[in-house]
Amino acid sequence: MLTSNKTPIKHVLTFALLCTLSFPSVWAQFFSMDYKESAYREQHSLNRPYADSGHWDGFGAAAITPEYIRLTPDLKSQQGGIWNNKRVDMRGWGVHINFKIHGQGSINGDGIAFWYSKERMMPGPVFGSKDYFSGLGVFIDTFGNHVSPSTASRSESHRNHEHPYISIIVNNGSQKYDHDHDGGHQNLGGCSVKVRNKNSTQILVRYDISMLTVLRDVDGKGLWDICAQVDGIELPTGYYFGLSAATGDLSDNHDIFYVQTYEANNNEMGVHRIHGSRDGIIPSARRDRSPQDEGGAWSVIRIILVLGAVGVIAACGYGLVAITATKPKGT
Ligand SMILES: *[C@@H]1O[C@H](CO)[C@@H](O)[C@H](O)[C@H]1NC(C)=O
Ligand SMILES: *[C@@H]1O[C@H](CO)[C@@H](O)[C@H](O)[C@H]1NC(C)=O
Ligand SMILES: [Ca+2]
């Protein structure tokens, strides 16, 4: 307890430390920055000046400007993308993508896809890339097809998401993307993200042998939270990272500012290494559980963190007041 004969400075420091720990940026670092700088992989990253990066190739409408790479302009029926041309030999990785989706009007489409897939540079109908893909797709889907009148009658069984919506899909090359239902039952998880017309937005896609986590920082201010986490996803090494986007009757500018890739720095790695190569694994997702949407356990944890933080701030404020009030008399 606080007494006037203890040195106030000690308490001030303690409270300052507790206060610091309660700030969201600390949690943001916990979620997003647990990669060492040494784990940065330049050959899978994309930074300005883009023209100097030989590790990426563009297709379709994709255009380089000094400030960003525009996958599609805000015009109808465009498709564009960029693909990393270096095979990914990491078993675990984190890809941090900073982007901006913006345009005229209030109904827009279709969105941006992040890919970790076998084939690269193949234009097609899934956010600008080929259907029947092999690998992982994380779709930032800005238009809700399943709520449009043409498909409304078929969508009763499908829970409505608020769009823009991030969805996670794994395909072994055999499945057609369920475009009319925005992935429908193929979605392994996801969350709503109000990404349009922000200065920038970021997501972090992390794969750590079986566990896929998508984090979001919708306002690009370093405040991250978990969008979705899905266990039981098997992906091989040897695939490629890519980004693509498409517009249809509705459009948007789909701009990428940078992509920063880190090798996951987990202790499990050594254990898995002795089981040999992950080359040649067929992409799969365990389907023995219902899709995990935004909310659930993580929301509970977040609420606890927020309540904890509020408590600490209150205690901190009270403590400082108490310390000030109990300063030794006569000073
Ligand atoms: C590919 O996925 C489908 C649907 O999940 C599954 O039925 C099929 O067995 C898988 N094929 C292989 C070769 O794993
Ligand atoms: C975008 O950034 C500018 C200046 O950096 C700021 O004034 C503006 O409020 C920001 N807009 C949004 C939507 O965050
Ligand atoms: Ca859609």
pLDDT of residue 161: 76
Q: Whose CA is nearest to atom 14 of ligand 1?
A: 282
Among the bound ligands, name the one nearest to the CA of residue 281: 1
Among the bound ligands, name the one nearest to the CA of residue 185: 1
Extract the tokens encoding 134: 């092999």
198 in ligand 2 pocket by Cβ < 6 Å? Answer: yes
pLDDT of residue 9: 58
120 and 2 in a common domain: no
- Distance (Å) of CA 178 to CA 104, 113, 126, 145, 223: 27, 15, 9, 10, 32
The residues, ordered by sequence, that sit 6+ positions from 154 with a Cβ below 8 Å of its Cβ are 180, 181
Domains in the chain: how many in total? 2
285 and 304 in a common domain: no
The bridge status of strand 210-217 relative to strand 201-208 is antiparallel
Three-class secondary structure assignment of 266-277: CCHHHHHHCCCC
pLDDT of residue 18: 52
**What sign for the dihedral angle of Cα 81, 84, 87, 90?**
negative
Structural domain range at position 14: 1-32+295-331
326 and 209 in a common domain: no
Cα angle 251, 220, 314 (rounded to 5 degrees) comes to 140
Distance (Å, whole) CA 3 – CA 5: 6
Q: Which residues line ligand 1 (CB under 6 A)?
A: 172, 174-175, 282
Distance (Å) from CA 139 to ligand 2 centroid: 25
pLDDT of residue 159: 54
Among the bound ligands, name the one nearest to the CA of residue 148: 3
What does the DSSP 8-state code read for residue 121?
S
Q: Whose CA is nearest to atom 1 of ligand 2?
A: 199
306 and 175 in a common domain: no
81 and 220 in a common domain: yes
CATH number of the domain at 134, please: 2.60.120.200
Spell 281-293 as b/e; 16+ CB within 10 A means b: eebebeeeeebbb
Extract the tokens encoding 137: 């797709």
Distance (Å) from CA 144 to ligand 3 centroid: 5
Question: CA nearest 252: which of 148, 106, 82, 98?
Answer: 106
pLDDT of residue 152: 44
Extract the tokens encoding 87: 């095979």
Among the bound ligands, name the one nearest to the CA of residue 139: 3
- More confident of the two residues 239 and 311: 239
pLDDT of residue 209: 81
126 and 28 in a common domain: no
Give the number of the atom of ligand 2 that is nearest the alpha carbon of residue 197.
Answer: 13
- Distance (Å) of CA 44 to CA 40, 214, 247, 261, 307: 9, 18, 26, 6, 39
pLDDT of residue 238: 96
Distance (Å, whole) CA 279 – CA 281: 6
326 and 221 in a common domain: no
pLDDT, tens digit (0-9, with 9 covering 90-100), for 263-295: 986 544 444 554 556 888 999 999 755 544 544
202 and 308 in a common domain: no
Euclidean distance between the first and the last CA atom of the chain, given in angstroms as a whole number: 22
Residue 299 pLDDT > 60: no
107 and 80 in a common domain: yes
Q: For a ligand 2 pocket test, name from 195, 198, 199, 202 the mutation site with the most ligand atoms within 8 angstroms of its C-beta.
A: 199
Q: What is the largest CA-CA distance in the chain?
A: 81
Within 10 A of 273 (CB to CB), how many other CB atoms are there?
11
Residue 168 pLDDT > 70: yes
Extract the tokens encoding 266: 């987990």
Distance (Å, whole) CA 152 – CA 139: 21
What does the DSSP 8-state code read for residue 282?
P
Distance (Å) from CA 243 to ligand 1 centroid: 25
**How do the residues of the chain divide into helix, strand and coil, expressed in percent and rounded to 5?**
25, 35, 40
Give the number of the atom of ligand 1 that is nearest the alpha carbon of residue 287.
Answer: 5
Give the residues across from 165 on adjacent strands.
Answer: 141, 192
Neighbours of ion ligand 3 (CB under 5 A): 141, 143, 145, 182
Distance (Å) from CA 218 to ligand 2 centroid: 13
Least confident of 210-219, 222-231, 263-272, 309-318: 263-272
Kindly report the average pLDDT of the chain as a whole number.
82
Give the number of the atom of ligand 2 that is nearest the alpha carbon of residue 219.
Answer: 14
Within 10 A of 88 (CB to CB), how many other CB atoms are there?
22
> In terms of pTM, does the model score above 0.85?
no
- More confident of the two residues 249 and 271: 249
16 and 113 in a common domain: no
184 and 77 in a common domain: yes
Q: Whose CA is nearest to atom 11 of ligand 1?
A: 172
102 in ligand 2 pocket by Cβ < 6 Å? Answer: no
- In this prediction, residue 122 has a pLDDT band, given cuts at 50, 70 and 90, of very high
pLDDT of residue 148: 55
256 and 116 in a common domain: yes
Phi/psi for 189 (5° steps) reads 170, 175
